[in-house]
A and B are shown apart, each in its own frame.
Chain A
Amino acid sequence: MSTDALVVIDHLVRHFGHNGRRADQAVRAVDDVSFEIRRGETFGLVGESGSGKSTLARLLLRLDTPTAGRVLFDGEDVFSMSSREHRRLRPRMQMVFQDPFASLNRRKTVEQTIAFPLRIHQPQLDGAARAARVRELLDLVGLRATHAEAYPRQLSGGQCQRVSIARALALGPEFVVLDEAVSAVDVSIQAQILNLLRELQERLGLTYLFVSHDLAVVRYMSSSIGVMYHGRIVELGSREQLFSSPQHPCTHALLASIPSPEPPEEQERDHVIVHEELMSDSEVTGCRYHPRCPLGHRSRCHEIEPGLDPVGPGHRAACHYPQSAESLAREAALDATSGVAVPS
Chain B
Amino acid sequence: MTEASLNAHPGEPVLDVRGLAVEFPYHGSTVRPVRGASFAVNPRQRLGLVGESGSGKSLTALSLMRLIPPPGRIAAGQVLMGGVDLAQLSEREMARVRGGRIALVGQDPMSSLNPVHSIGRQIVEAIRVHENVSQRVARARAVDLLGQVGLPNPARRFDSYPHQFSGGMRQRVMIAIAISSSPEVLIADEPTTALDVTTQARIMDLLSSLVEEREMAVILITHDLGLAASFCDEIQVMYAGRVVERSRPGPLFAQPLHPYTEALLDAICRLDYDVGKPIAAIPGQPPLPQMLPSGCPFHTRCPHAFDRCSTEEPLAHVLRGGRMAECHLADERATAAA
Please give the residue numbers on chain A whose beta carbons come within 8 Å of chain B beta carbons, in ascending order.
Answer: 48-49, 156-159, 186-192, 194-195, 198-199, 213-217, 219-220, 239, 243, 253-264, 267, 269, 271, 274, 276-278
Given contacts A213-B197, A216-B269, contact A259 B275 (CB under 8 A): no
B306 within 8 A of A: no
Given contacts A259-B229, A278-B152, contact A198 B278 (CB under 8 A): yes
Given contacts A49-B196, A262-B229, contact A219 B250 (CB under 8 A): no
Whether A216 contacts B271 by the Cβ 8 Å rule is yes
Contacts A48-B199, A190-B267, A259-B227 aside, 10 further interface pairs with beta carbons under 8 A come to A158-B285, A216-B271, A219-B273, A254-B197, A257-B197, A258-B226, A259-B200, A259-B201, A259-B229, A263-B249
Q: Can you report 25 A-B residue pairs in the complex whose CB atoms are below 8 A from each other? A: A48-B196, A48-B197, A48-B199, A156-B285, A186-B52, A187-B223, A187-B225, A188-B282, A191-B282, A192-B281, A194-B269, A194-B279, A199-B278, A213-B196, A213-B197, A214-B269, A220-B269, A239-B275, A257-B201, A259-B200, A261-B225, A261-B229, A261-B249, A261-B268, A263-B250
B290 within 8 A of A: no
Chain B residue numbers with a CB within 8 Å of A254 are 197-198
Given contacts A158-B285, A276-B152, contact A188 B267 (CB under 8 A): yes
A48 to B267, CA, bound (A): 24
Whether A264 contacts B230 by the Cβ 8 Å rule is yes
Q: How far is the CB of A33 from chain B (nearest CB, A)?
A: 20
A254 to B282, CA, bound (A): 28
Smallest Cβ-Cβ distance to A255: which chain B residue: B271
B side interface size, CB within 8 A: 43
Contact with B273, one of A48, A159, A188, A220 (Cβ below 8 angstroms): A220
Chain B residue numbers with a CB within 8 Å of A258 are 197, 226, 271
Whether A187 contacts B267 by the Cβ 8 Å rule is yes
Given contacts A187-B268, A194-B269, A216-B269, contact A263 B253 (CB under 8 A): yes
A277 to B201, CA, bound (A): 13
Contact with B269, one of A186, A190, A262, A269 (Cβ below 8 angstroms): A190
Smallest Cβ-Cβ distance to A264: which chain B residue: B230
Whether A274 contacts B202 by the Cβ 8 Å rule is yes
A159 to B286, CA, bound (A): 12
Within 8 A of A (CB), among B238-267: 249-250, 253, 263-265, 267
Which of B225, B230, B263, B265 lies at the interface centre, i.e. has the most chain A CB atoms within 10 A of its CB? B230
Within 8 A of A (CB), among B32-62: 52-53
Q: Top 4 closest A-B pairs, CB basis?
A: A191-B281, A188-B282, A186-B52, A191-B279
Contact with B279, one of A195, A255, A257, A262 (Cβ below 8 angstroms): A195
Smallest Cβ-Cβ distance to B150: which chain A residue: A276
Whether B278 contacts A263 by the Cβ 8 Å rule is no
Contact with B267, one of A191, A220, A256, A264 (Cβ below 8 angstroms): A191
Q: How far is the CB of B171 from chain A (nearest CB, A)?
A: 13
